[in-house]
Amino acid sequence: MNGDDFTARLMSDMDPQLLNFVKTKVNSFIKWDLIRFFYENPNTTDSAENIARYAGRNVNAVKPELEELVESGVMETRSVDDLVVYSLTADEEMRKLIDSFILACEDRHFRVKAVYHIIRGMR
């Protein structure tokens, strides 16, 4: 077994559901920030422009990430008149998964592993 394989195995040593969540849903640092923001402020509904403002980031960077979070079922979108607004999914299972992810992030080892997978996914 080479060093890379060993690291990969070590970094994948986490709850399989959370590992899948990190690899398929979080998969970028902007998404991570957004998920944390909506976890802390769960009843937020707003346009991409305003969400970007809340997150202190550029809307051009945030909007595609929001779209991907919608596609992966973390967020929901709806049209209000001519405005497109985003909010956290109402799906209970997904909300529980988000809660588990944020709670797991309190552990430094978990965070290191999550960062590893996100960087690998971005390559």
Partner 1 sequence: MERTKTGIKGLDEMLHGGLLPQTANLVEGAPGTGKTTLGMQFIYNGIAKYDEPGLILTFEQFPQQYYRDAMAFGWDFRKLEAEGKLKVYMTSPEVTKVDLESVGGMIETMAREMGARRVLVDSLSHFERLTSDPVELRALQYSLINGLKREGLTSILTKETSSLLGETPSDESVAFVVDSYILLRYVEIESAIRKALLVLKLRGSNHDKDIRQFEIGPNGIEIQAKFEGREGIMSGSPHRTMAESFIEAFVKR
CB of 118 to partner 1, least distance (A): 24
Complex with partner 1: residue 50 or 72, whichever CB lies closer: 50
Q: Which of 1, 80, 90, 122 binds partner 1 (CB under 8 A)?
A: 80
Interface with partner 1, residue 40, by CB under 8 A: yes
Q: Does 92 bind partner 1 (CB under 8 A)?
A: no
| 103 makes contact with partner 1 (CB under 8 A) | no
Query: What is the distance in angstroms between the CA of the first residue and the CA of the last residue of the chain?
Result: 22
Stretch that binds partner 1, among 10-18, 25-33, 60-68, 79-87 (CB under 8 A): 79-87
Q: Give φ, ψ of 63 to 5 degrees.
A: -60, -50
Q: What is the spatial distance between Cα 111 and Cα 37, in angstroms, rounded to a whole number?
A: 17
Binding part of the chain for partner 1, among 12-20, 25-33, 38-46, 103-111 by CB under 8 A, reads 38-46
Instruction: Please give the Cα distance from 82 to 106 (Å, whole number).
Output: 39
Helix (H, G, I), strand (E, B) or coil at 42: coil
Is residue 33 a contact point for partner 1 (CB under 8 A)? no
Q: Taking a C-beta distance cutoff of 8 angstroms, is the pair 86, 77 a contact? A: yes
Q: Rule CB under 8 A: is residue 4 a binding residue for partner 1?
A: no
Name which position in 4, 5, 81, 92 contacts partner 1 (CB under 8 A).
81
Q: How far is CA 11 from CA 74, 89, 114, in A?
A: 24, 28, 8
